[in-house]
Structure 1
Amino acid sequence: MAAITTIAFDADDTLWQSEQYFRLTQQRFAALLADHADPADLDNRLIASVSRNLQHYGFGAKGFTLSMLETALDITDHRVPGRVIAEILAAGRELLSFPVETLPHVDAALAAVQATHRLILVTKGDLLDQERKLAASGLAEYFSAIEIVSDKNQATYARIFARHTDGPEHTVMVGNSLRSDILPALAAGSHAIYIPHDLTWSHERADEPLAHPRYARIAHIGALAETVAHLQSP
């Protein structure tokens, strides 16, 4: 089997916490509109708005904030009070300033594999926000290349693997999203290691490719080095 020389990492909810802050913002949004909609219905309509707007705003806090505003206008038939609009905008700004909390085992795992592999970061979302989180995390020094992209699909990975690796067959992608990190990377020809996170947005869920020969699942990133070695063993 081809030796793995490069490990590519997702960032949000793979290296540091992210989804929990979106959930907190969503709860704040529900409280603001409690007099106008049932919480479950509001959540469904917000998720539908976010998913629908991905093609316009992309992934991240700014698109989420615009979708909250759109949902508030829709729920209230454009009668949402100005005070509520101001509170939604404040919640969106706060979403861009939450502290960066790295997940357990991350520093040790990156240090271990950096000694034997080239590491690159492949993350999607708001450019300024992702740059802020990477700087605050203190993890930038581990990566020889950093790619912040608007979406993750097979073409995205093919381009990144061609630019920064010895080829997809020599690369493994590590992440918490089956839809964004695992399936398109496998389709581009790489290996993939899935690390489930307790909180995963419904848009990022998909069926696990359990029978795929280049796929593995681990409970936490602390098992990464051993799993990479296993993937390239005959």
Structure 2
Amino acid sequence: MFELLIVAAASGLAGFIDAIVGGGGLVLLPTLFAVYPGAHPATLSGSNKGAAIWGTAWAAGQYARRVTLRWPALLPAVLAALIGSFLGAWALTLVNPGGLRKALPVVLVLILIYTLAKKDLGRAHAPRFAGRAEAVLASSVGLGIGLYDGFFGPGTGSFFVFLFVRLLGYDFLHASASAKLLNTATNAAALVLLVSKGHIWWHVAAVMAVTNVIGSLLGTRLALKHGAGFVRHVFIAVVTLLICKTGYDAFLR
């Protein structure tokens, strides 16, 4: 019972962070591994996805009601993200992700440096493309990061946010809202695969899902209230923590 309370609290915090800018897995997955050290990693990942998908979907719905989303570009991007996540999960059964584990903190450092150097990055919502061009670019982001999420995963939401800001010209608020739609699709694809293999604890996932949605509700309200500048600051903080966590996992553990 005590273990369940710990992971439920971690899931609430993860939902809060994830709703603002992504990166909730930075909190929840390490907690699950610490609390249940003898469990199969895939089972913990499945339980994590089983909780996180509800908070992500809830945040996506909240943003969709309050933020004007560019649906003609995002709907095909959601489909591409779903396909990418399936392919990434399949690739994971064939290839060891060890090389990517070492490259990830380097990529995150470059993203952080670029974001800090570009003081106005993501502060104004000024989409650079429209029509087919925007749909193709958004779908490319969905497919590429979907592949990454199915294959490896850490920082998926933050990668979606950064690419929507950098490539499509969205501000951080609209980028975060758009990222929730695509991240829901990638979570769903991975969850279907893991559930089909029996890798989920439903009783743990159900409790964590409730607190994840509560955290997501609070995080979404804060992001909508304070806008793109607030989301940018949280993005910088989360990417910094991701660098520390992934760097430790890759080079020190």
Q: Which has the higher helix share?
A: 2
Q: TM-score, normalised by structure 2?
A: 0.27
Q: TM-score, normalised by structure 1?
A: 0.28
Q: Which has the higher strand share?
A: 1
Select the structure with the greater relative contact order (CA < 8 A; seq sep ≥ 6).
2
Give the structure with higher Rg (CA).
Answer: 1
